Amino acid sequence: MTSTIATSNVQRVRLLYKTILKLHRGLPLSAKAIGDIYVKDEFKRHKQCNESEATLFMKEWTNYAITLAKQLGVKGLKTGIPIGQHLDESWLQNFRDEQVLQLYELMQETTKAKDFSGEIIEDEEESPKT
């Protein structure tokens, strides 16, 4: 019986993982690349977590998948429509230091990808005034 439950849990995790990666196909390429790397890393990190962490992990990633599916719609991302959602500050109070650091690094990567246009972006202070 226990092995059946364990197998069922593994199947649910695998299905969620594959669903998220499929949803990422509807994202712009830079967001897809960052999202895929992040998801793969997070799922790998949580392979051996305890039951309460696993429950919370699955709940939050399921919510992410549902939100992303709604934002992408049936035909994929529409131009100009923002994806994602704002993170409530009260959530940050519950994060461990390593989670805050990870979130900060993710923000830096997504900002870099968003600003990348093939040209070097200059700081306003360094750019010549005309």
pTM of structure: 0.69
Residue 17 within any structural domain of the chain: yes
Model confidence pLDDT, tens digit, residues 33-51: 999 999 999 999 999 899 9
What is the reported pLDDT for 122? Answer: 39
User: 60 near 52, Cβ under 8 Å?
Assistant: no
109 is a domain residue: no
* Residue 24 falls inside a structural domain: yes
Task: Using a pLDDT cut of 70, give the percent of the chain over it.
Answer: 75
| Overall number of domains in the chain | 1
> pLDDT band for position 5 (50/70/90)?
low
**pLDDT at residue 79 tops 90:** no
Residue 58 included in any domain:
yes
> pLDDT at position 78, please?
63
Residue 36: inside a domain: yes
Mean pLDDT of the chain: 79
- Residues 92-111: tens digit of each pLDDT: 788 888 888 888 888 887 77
Residue 78 lies in a domain: no
Domain assignment of residue 14, given as a range: 7-73
- Residue 80 maps to a domain: no
Q: Is residue 62 part of a domain?
A: yes
For residue 125, pLDDT over 50 is answered with: no
